[in-house]
Amino acid sequence: MKTIYKSKQSEITMMELYDRQLKAFNMDYEDLFVETRFGNTHVVKIGKQDGNPLLILQGSNFTMPYELSYFTALLSYFCVYAVDTVGHIGKSSQTIVSLKTMEVGEWASDVITGLGFQQIKCLGAGIGGGILIKLMCIAPEKVEKSVLVVPAGIAKATTLRAMVSTFSPMMKYIKTKDEEWLKKVLLPMAIDENRIDKTDIEMLKYSVEHVGMNTRFPSIAKAKDLQRFNAPTFIIVAEYDRMFPSKKILAKAQKMIPNLKTHILKGQGQMFSLSDGDITMIKEFFEN
C-alpha cells in the first residue's frame, strides 16, 4: 500500500513523536479503532470521561496530538474523540481518500457510526475544518453542532501566496539543517515570532524530514451541498490568515450556512492561539 512516510524508519520515528506528544497531555486516554469503508481508523478518547462527547477532526501535515494541543483547554470540559484521518500522519489506514469529492465526508460519517453515535458535536480546524464541512454536506443529521476554526473548504485557499513566502526559507533549511530557517517558514502563518515555540519547530522538522508533505486541500463547498444542513455552526477565523482569508470565509459562509455564529481572532494568522475567552465561547456554544 502507498504510504506518506519516506521510509519504514520514518514511520517509526513519526509514531514515536506521536506517542510523546500524546503523553505530554498527562491525561489518561484510550486508543480506539473503528472500521470504515475506507479502512481502519484510529481514534483517541481523551478528556473529561463523563463530559459531553466531542469529535475533533485532524488536519493535514502535522500529527493529531500536535493539533489537539491547540484545544487542550477543551479537554477539561468534553469527552473528546480525536481522529487520525486516513491517508495522513497517524495510526489509521494509509488509504488515500479524496478531498475533492464527498469521500472524506463519507469516511467521517463512518467514524461516527463506528464509535456508536447517531449524532455528535464536531470541531475541525484547517484541513480538519474542510473535512467537517464535507461531513455537514453528506450526513448533516450526524452533526449536532459544528465549530470550524480557520477552516479550509469554504473559500479558495491562497496557496500560491503562502508557498512563495515559505519556499526560500524551506530550501535553505533543507540545505543547511539550521532550524532558524524553520522558524522563518512558520512566521507567515504565526504572524508573531513569539507564537512559535520549540514544539512547533520540532513538528515541522519531523514532517519535512519523514513525510511526503500533503499539498491537497478540500474542494470548496457549494450552497446546494449544504442545503440540508441547519445545525448551529460557529466559525472562528484569524484576521491575518494568509492561507484561508478571513473576509472571504465569512462572506461565503454567511450565504451558505443559515444558523451561523462567527468570531475573528484579531491580529492572528493560521497558527492561532485561543484565549480563555475564546475557549469559553466554544464551550458555551456547544453546551447552550
How confident is the model over 10-33, as pLDDT tens digits?
999 999 999 999 999 999 999 999
Tell me the pLDDT band of 156, cut-offs 50, 70 and 90: confident
pLDDT of residue 166: 81
Q: What average pLDDT does the chain have? A: 94
8-state DSSP, 89: S
What are the residues facing 81 on neighbouring strands?
Answer: 45, 55
pLDDT digits (tens, 9 = 90+) for 63-116: 999 999 999 999 999 999 999 999 999 999 998 888 889 999 999 999 999 999
pLDDT of residue 96: 85
pLDDT of residue 163: 64
Angle at 283 between CA 154 and CA 135, to 5 degrees: 35
What CATH number has the domain spanning 8-157+215-287?
3.40.50.1820
- Whether the predicted model's global pTM rises above the 0.85 cut: yes
Could you give the count of Cα atoms lying within 13 Å of 27 in the half-sphere of its Cβ?
Answer: 22
Share of the chain above pLDDT 90, in %: 85
pLDDT digits (tens, 9 = 90+) for 165-219: 788 899 999 999 999 999 999 999 999 999 999 999 999 999 999 998 777 788 9
Between the CA of residue 196 and those of 91, 119, 190, 204, 255, what are the distances in Å?
27, 36, 7, 11, 35
In 246-276, which positions are buried (b, 16+ CB within 10 angstroms) versus exposed (e)?
bebbbebbeebbeeeebbebeebbbbbebee
Q: Where are the domains of the chain?
A: 8-157+215-287, 159-210
Q: Is the dihedral of CA 40, 41, 46, 49 positive or negative?
A: negative
Tell me the pLDDT band of 161, cut-offs 50, 70 and 90: low
8-state DSSP, 230: -
pLDDT of residue 216: 77
pLDDT at 60 over 80: no
Higher pLDDT, 40 or 100: 40
In 149-171, which positions are buried (b, 16+ CB within 10 angstroms) versus exposed (e)?
bbbbbbbebeeeebeeebeebbe
Tell me the pLDDT band of 162, cut-offs 50, 70 and 90: low
